[in-house]
Amino acid sequence: MQDGTPWPGNNTRDHPGMIQVFLGYSGARDIDGNELPRLVYVSREKRPGYQHHKKAGAENALVRVSALLTNAPFILNLDCDHYVNNSKAVREAMCFLMDPEVGQDVCYVQFPQRFDGIDRSDRYANRNTVFFDVNMKGLDGIQGPVYVGTGCVFNRQALYGYGPPSMRSLSKSSSSSCSCCGCCSCCCPGKKAPKDPSELYRDAKREELDAAIFNLREIDNYDDYERSMLISQRSFEKTFGLSSVFIESTIMENGGVAESANPSTLIKKAIHVISCGYEEKTEWGKEIGWIYGSVTEDILTGFKMHCRGWRSIYCMPLRPAFKGSAPINLSDRLHQVLRWALGSVEIFLSRHCPLWYGFGGGRLKWLQRMAYINTIVYPFTSLPLIAYCTLPAICLLTGKFIIPTLSNLASVLFLGLFLSIIVTAVLELRWSGVSIEDLWRNEQFWVIGGVSAHLFAVFQGFLKMLAGIDTNFTVTAKAAEDAEFGELYIVKWTTLLIPPTTLLIINMVGVVAGFSDALNKGYEAWGPLFGKVFFSFWVILHLYPFLKGLMGRQNRTPTIVVLWSVLLASVFSLVWVRINPFINTVDSTIVAQTCTSIDC
């Protein structure tokens, strides 16, 4: 530092809270005379033994500091690897957040994620075009898109756990709508005005604190108003923490620094709200701010807001609002998908699971709830997907078909289902403008991620949530490239590569075995063979980007991946031959086919 002392933040796991104001209240201006926005560096305190909650904890610390220094009513959230690509993006968000009709109920405006540095073919579906241009646009017609962790402008009041103003006014008006008499229940039997969750929470806290300081009523001449103010203050402290200036800022819906704030002491108070112990015994991370409990805190945070009755907006300007960098090589991309899937499994096993959370207020629409359920159950599709990718190879290796001959009715039903899926996909493509190539890339990587990252996420999630075992899958780079898209060809060792490689080997061996068997049996065996080979080729075709990425630029695959995959494929084949479920051993001299398969 300038005085010669070492920088106090050299130890990233043990350092005090630090705030440095580069552009503050002095009113700095640019070369054109326009006032520059304030620029403040914040590093929250970290000490051994304290849980810092990673990104979610950092976001909550920034919310508190900004409330003390500026307290703007809206907050722009960007990841560290994103930048502003459209100078009018924030203004686009303000058009929704400040709209006099719908703006008061909007908790955030979400922009789609766009990325730089992705290869032209988008081999690993890094752009996520189907999700951002189809799914998110569809959610915008229900209660709004989910929060994806970046490229989002928040209403500060929504982060504080308050419900939307329209819900509060609706609750008050409905409570006074029955004008027959104050105690009459015959005209409106069983109808009670639903309270805002934040009001219910504050009422419960008020009763708890009232019981704790009941002795104040016994004091002579103690003013009821002063007692109620004390109760309210303590209730807010249990919710927001021990900072009177910050608490005062939370009730200023239009923003602005509190009148009681002293600029000379604001920095000291701001450092206090980013200390390690500030969030203890408060509702930070539980009911307010970014919610803790999952590595995908973004889904939880948006879900809680929607449960309170807020709605969100999806904004897609012609020029991308923000851009970022995406993991370009196979291993990093799989680990990104693993993290997302693990977060979904954590939410599924937590109290915030959309299957049972948020029914009390009745403010989360049913279709929105189904959308959230879809975001947490998709990793479990890896289990049937593994079976579907394995069965074609089994058919070729054993010479049997697993499904029986379909009846005419079953064939018609299957054809109708298949055609409905195709028609739905075509309509979605025409509506969203997504290309067939993007849809195909998305399908390919859905299979690749499903048989690798999603499968690992299911087991890792259960180990972490039920047994308390946190298993980490680490990657180690083998090499680096300076050429364009050079990182695309880097092959990094990770256990996530083993299951897809095993499936590729099994299906390739199955195809070879099927053709060999057909050559031995003659012309009649070729017809049934093509049906079996088609399914195996379909699996290989979906896994082709994985195979291409696995080979790297030198067309070499990590030896350890090949050894593990061959070992698993061999063990699986030997076990299958040993148990052979198609053989009925009632009579050792008679080989009978089971009723669930036909001999092709």
Which helix H or strand E contains 20, and what residues bound it? strand 18-23
Under DSSP, the state recorded for 495 is G
Is position 54 annotated in a ligand binding site? yes
Q: CA-to-CA distance for 99 and 105, rounded, in angstroms? A: 10
pLDDT of amino acid 337: 92
pLDDT of amino acid 271: 93
Q: CA-to-CA distance for 558 and 491, rounded, in angstroms? A: 7
Q: What is the DSSP code string of 518-584?
A: HHHH-GGGHHHHHHHHHHHHHHHHHTHHHHHHHHTTTT---HHHHHHHHHHHHHHHHHHHHH-TTEE
For 470-490, the pLDDT digits (tens) are 766 444 333 344 455 555 556
Strand-pairing partners, residue 15, are 46
For 162-171, the pLDDT digits (tens) are 888 877 655 5
Is position 99 annotated in a ligand binding site? no
Asked whether the predicted pLDDT for residue 383 surpasses 90, the reply is: yes
Q: Which residues contact 10 (CB under 8 A, 6 or more apart)?
A: none
Asked whether the predicted pLDDT for residue 381 surpasses 90, the reply is: yes
Read off the pLDDT band of 249 (50, 70, 90).
confident
Is position 304 annotated in a ligand binding site? no
Whether residue 363 contacts residue 513, with contact meaning beta carbons closer than 8 Å, is answered with: no
Provide Rg for the chain, Cα atoms. Answer: 30
Give the residue from 8, 7, 47, 11 showing the smallest Cα distance to 275. 47
Q: Which residues contact 493 (CB under 8 A, 6 or more apart)?
A: 331, 475, 476, 478, 558, 560, 561
Say which range, 244-248, 357-361, 402-406, 540-544, has the weakest mean pLDDT.
Answer: 402-406
Read off the pLDDT band of 233 (50, 70, 90).
confident
Q: CA-to-CA distance for 49 and 584, rounded, in angstroms? A: 61
Strand-pairing partners, residue 109, are 153, 313
Under DSSP, the state recorded for 134 is I
Whether residue 530 contacts residue 591, with contact meaning beta carbons closer than 8 Å, is answered with: no
Both tokens of 236, joined, read: 């807010």
Helices first, then strands: H and E counts in the chain: 21, 13
Q: Which residues contact 196 (CB under 8 A, 6 or more apart)?
A: 162, 163, 167, 168, 171, 308, 309, 361
Instruction: Work out the average pLDDT over 243-254.
Output: 85
Asked whether the predicted pLDDT for residue 209 surpasses 50, the reply is: no
Q: CA-to-CA distance for 241 and 61, rounded, in angstroms? A: 12
Read off the pLDDT band of 44 (50, 70, 90).
very high
Q: Which residue has the tokens 């799914």?
A: 135
Q: Which residues contact 480 (CB under 8 A, 6 or more apart)?
A: 486, 487, 490
For 256-299, the pLDDT digits (tens) are 877 767 777 888 999 999 999 999 999 999 999 999 988 889 99
Distance between start and end Cα atoms, the chain = 79
Q: What is the DSSP code string of 206-217?
A: HHHHHHHTGGGG
Read off the pLDDT band of 591 (50, 70, 90).
very low
| Torsion sign (Cα): 98, 101, 102, 105 | positive
Which helix H or strand E contains 67, and what residues bound it? helix 54-69
Task: Judge if pTM exceeds 0.85.
Answer: no
Task: Say how far residue 106 (Cα) sits from the centre of its chain.
Answer: 20
Q: CA-to-CA distance for 281 and 241, rounded, in angstroms? A: 8
Mean of the per-residue pLDDT values of the chain: 79
Three-state DSSP class for residue 223:
coil
Q: CA-to-CA distance for 494 and 338, rounded, in angstroms? A: 12
